[in-house]
Amino acid sequence: MPDKDELARHRYEKLVDRLQSLMQAALKPEYQGYHGQLILSSDDLAEMGDLKDVRRAALEAGRRLGWKPATRLVENRLFVLDEREAPEGIQQLAENAAAEAMDRARRERR
């Protein structure tokens, strides 16, 4: 019978794999792996376990993807972000997309 440490390690590895999969799926192909982000709701966090374990697993998953990962907790949501500096062309694409999204939101509010 496996001991507690072995079970905990197995659960942690499964969590890392799950988060890595979610993070990979959230990447936009046009950004070539940069500007990664994952937002976990309070429901997601409750399902995944203890916040400190989820944060640690998210950081590990990000490193596996080549990110410079960081986490931020904002109003019961956990943001997992890639803080690497993107190449100029990709940065410009992301800035243009953000500007377009802001313009669209302003037009929809009118």
Output the pLDDT for position 67. 97
pLDDT digit string, tens, across residues 47-98: 999 999 999 999 999 999 999 999 999 999 999 999 999 999 999 999 999 9
**pLDDT of the residue at 70:** 97
Quick one: pLDDT at residue 1? 44
**What pLDDT is stored for residue 2 in this prediction?**
58
| Distance between CA atoms of residues 35 and 82, nearest Å | 6
